[in-house]
Amino acid sequence: MGIPLSISSDLDLELEDIIGQCVAILGIRGSGKSNTAGVIFEELLRNNYPLSIIDIDGEYFGLKEKYEVLVVGRGEGVEIEVDETCAEEIAQISMEKNVPVVVDLSGFLSDERTAFLQEYLGALWNLAGKLRHPYIIGIEEAHEFIPQGVKTELKELIARVALRGRKRGLGAIVISQRSAKVDKDVLSQAGMLFLHRVVHEVDMRVYSELLPWRKAETKEIITALSTGECVYLNGDNVIPIYVRERETFHAGFTPSLEVVVTPELKQVSQAIIEAIEHAKQGKGKKTRIDQLEEQLAHLESEAMKKDETIARLEGIARTLGYIKIEVPQPSYPDVQNISKAIVHSVEHPGSASGRSPAPSRAVGTVATKVAPPAAPLGVIDIEPSTAPTEADDPMVLPDAVIRHIERIVKRVSRKSILHRRILSFVVGHAPLAYSVDQIAAWTNCARGVIDNDPPRDFLEMGLLVRERRSGKMHYHSNLKEYVAREFGLFQPDLGISDLHRIMRHLQARLVLLGEEQ
């Protein structure tokens, strides 16, 4: 046999039934929700059950008429004005010393409310995890803190208490006049409901989902409820009840012409008040100097973080600079001379003295691998060379042709640097064909990189040709043919010498594009 609670003569309820419960009290304005909640709180206080009431309208300080309750916050019946800075201490006093607390939020601005509740409920949750003894939190106008469809940090905290508090002995009593606006997950977890009168269709729908009756029945029964009456719902137990009137002063009573006198209120022990005053002085309102010092410390730490970021970025920049220096670009003038030496050595095998400077050891290696010059395929016979002369000046060409040259250069410039380097080397050393090994050596790229990422764009454009010679892949310039094709449209206005000029000019431009990053 448990400890009976005197809530309604129609209802047998015991204190044990409340432990770890999520209780919902719903109904329209003036239907008697706060009275019902007040009656439950009275019964809990009578049995020394520890609790906190989150009181948005300053309705519950009247409990002090009979019980020792600490009222904090900002409002009419408040004993100690506090803000979020000492919320944690109050939660600790309440839970550890078994002191019932009413948190009067009626004088707080909405962000102050949120700040206080986050600290307070967060602290209660953590303490409940350690202490694991029964404790209940009542929340008035719960739809403001656990609105359906909106995600806030505070809502998550309250929902956590409602959904997962049981294992910590933590219960919740959520009170709301907007049934449809309260988070559905929390409502669905409520094991005990006091459903007062509602009239709006949306609220009635919520009731219909909760109650086992047909819709029309639900509507009929619920709309017939008068003040103080409600449907009590707990599992299979569904009964209409009348909740007794509060014994203690109900500051949220509906005003009448009768004179209401606020009764004598009980005070919590002086030691508790002093403990909170002490916490307030330590962490309470900060002086302007404190605030500025805090701001300064914050700015200093921000500046320090920024300095660290700058140092880190400088390090990265240095590393990048180092890499850039360490990767030598091919020296094209040298390449041209060496190429001529190669051509010369191919044309005059056995000749020791060439027109070009003597090739280096690396050049010698390449020279031995050079394939025979590619067979001429073009429609125009042009002597390839990379050094443009005055005769190659494109300015003498028609505007349309110059524009087309620029389009081609632009298109090439958008391709990857690896491909541009390959193009630059092969076009700059036309008409010979070069193996991938040779190109790799001259462009300073690993052979595998070229194998994996061949210059497909330029093969497709027709600037380069790839063919297998002696079992090895070779590339050679196709610029002559490319120019003939691309600029063939402009004939007969363009003569052979013009095509030649275009080719020389393009060749020089493409060689340069291999040097740009």
Ligand X SMILES: Nc1ncnc2c1ncn2[C@@H]1O[C@H](COP(=O)(O)OP(=O)(O)OP(=O)(O)O)[C@@H](O)[C@H]1O
Contact residues: ligand X, CB under 6 A:
27, 29-35, 177, 227-228, 243, 245, 250, 252-254
176 contacts Mg ion (rule: CB under 5 A):
no
* Binding partner of 388, given Mg ion, ligand X, none, CB within 5-8 angstroms per partner class: none
Residue 428, contacted partner among Mg ion, ligand X, none, CB below 5-8 A by kind? none
Residues 439, 425: contact at Cβ < 8 Å? yes
Q: Which helix (H) or strand (E) holds 81?
A: strand 80-81
Is-contact 70 272, C-beta < 8 A?
Answer: yes
In the complex, the smallest distance separating the C-beta of residue 104 from ligand X, rounded to whole angstroms, is: 15
Supply the minimum distance, in Å, between the C-beta of residue 68 and Mg ion. Answer: 23
The beta-carbon contacts of 15-19 under 8 Å, at least 24 apart in sequence, are: 15/43, 15/44, 15/47, 15/49, 17/192, 17/234, 18/44, 18/49, 18/136, 18/171, 18/192, 19/134, 19/169, 19/171
Cβ 102 to Mg ion shortest distance, Å: 14
- Cβ proximity to ligand X: between 35 and 424 the closer is 35
Give least dist CB 10 to ligand X, A.
12
Name the residue type at position 77.
G
Least spacing, CB of residue 198 vs ligand X, in Å: 11
Bridge partners, 477 (sequence order): 464
Q: Which of Mg ion, ligand X, none does residue 227 bind (CB under 5 to 8 Å by kind)? A: ligand X
Residue 248 binds which of Mg ion, ligand X, none (CB < 5-8 A, kind-dependent)? none
Q: Which is nearer to ligand X, 110 or 254 (CB)?
A: 254
Least Å distance between CB 181 and ligand X? 13
Q: Please answer whether residues 1 and 17 qualify as being in contact, where contact means their C-beta atoms are separated by less than 8 angstroms.
A: no
Q: How far is CA 499 from CA 376, 383, 410, 473, 480, in A?
A: 16, 12, 19, 29, 9
Instruction: Please count the residues of this chain forming the interface with Mg ion, following the rule CB under 5 A.
Output: 1
In the complex, minimum distance from the CB of residue 227 to ligand X, in angstroms, rounded to a whole number: 5
DSSP single-letter state for residue 358: P
Contacted by 73, from ligand X, Mg ion, none: CB < 5 to 8 Å by type: none
Q: Please, which residue, 177 or 438, has the CB nearer to ligand X?
A: 177
Report helix, strand or coil for 328.
coil
349 preceded by a cis bond (ω within 30 of 0): no
Q: Which is nearer to Mg ion, 24 or 87 (CB)?
A: 24
- Six-digit token string for 322: 């180092």
Q: Which is nearer to Mg ion, 34 or 424 (CB)?
A: 34
Residue 422 CA: distances (Å) to CA of 158, 386, 447, 516 = 66, 15, 12, 13
Q: For ligand X, which is the closer residue by CB, 36 or 386?
A: 36
Amino acid at 174: V
Closest CB to ligand X among residues 250, 509: 250
**Cα–Cα distance between 497 and 504 in angstroms, integer?**
10
| Residues 31 to 50 in contact with Mg ion, rule: CB under 5 A | 34
Residue nearest ligand X, Cβ-based: 228
Residue 30 CB, shortest distance to ligand X, in Å, is: 4
Query: Closest CB to ligand X among 243 and 445?
Result: 243
Structure tokens at 136: 């209940």
The closest residue (CB) to Mg ion is 34
Question: Rounded to whole angstroms, how far apart are CA atoms 182 and 175?
Answer: 9
Report the nearest approach of Mg ion to the CB of residue 57 (Å). Answer: 7
DSSP code of residue 34: H
Q: How far is the CB of 291 from ligand X (least distance, A)?
A: 38
Q: Which does 177 bind (CB under 5 to 8 A by kind): Mg ion, ligand X, none?
A: ligand X
| Closer to Mg ion by Cβ: residue 34 or 218 | 34
In the bound state with Mg ion, the residue whose beta carbon lies nearer, of 89 and 141, is 141
Phi, psi of 463 (to 5 degrees): -85, -30
Contacts of 455 (CB under 8 A, 6+ apart): 415, 418, 419, 422, 423, 464, 475
Q: Which residues bind Mg ion (CB under 5 A)?
A: 34
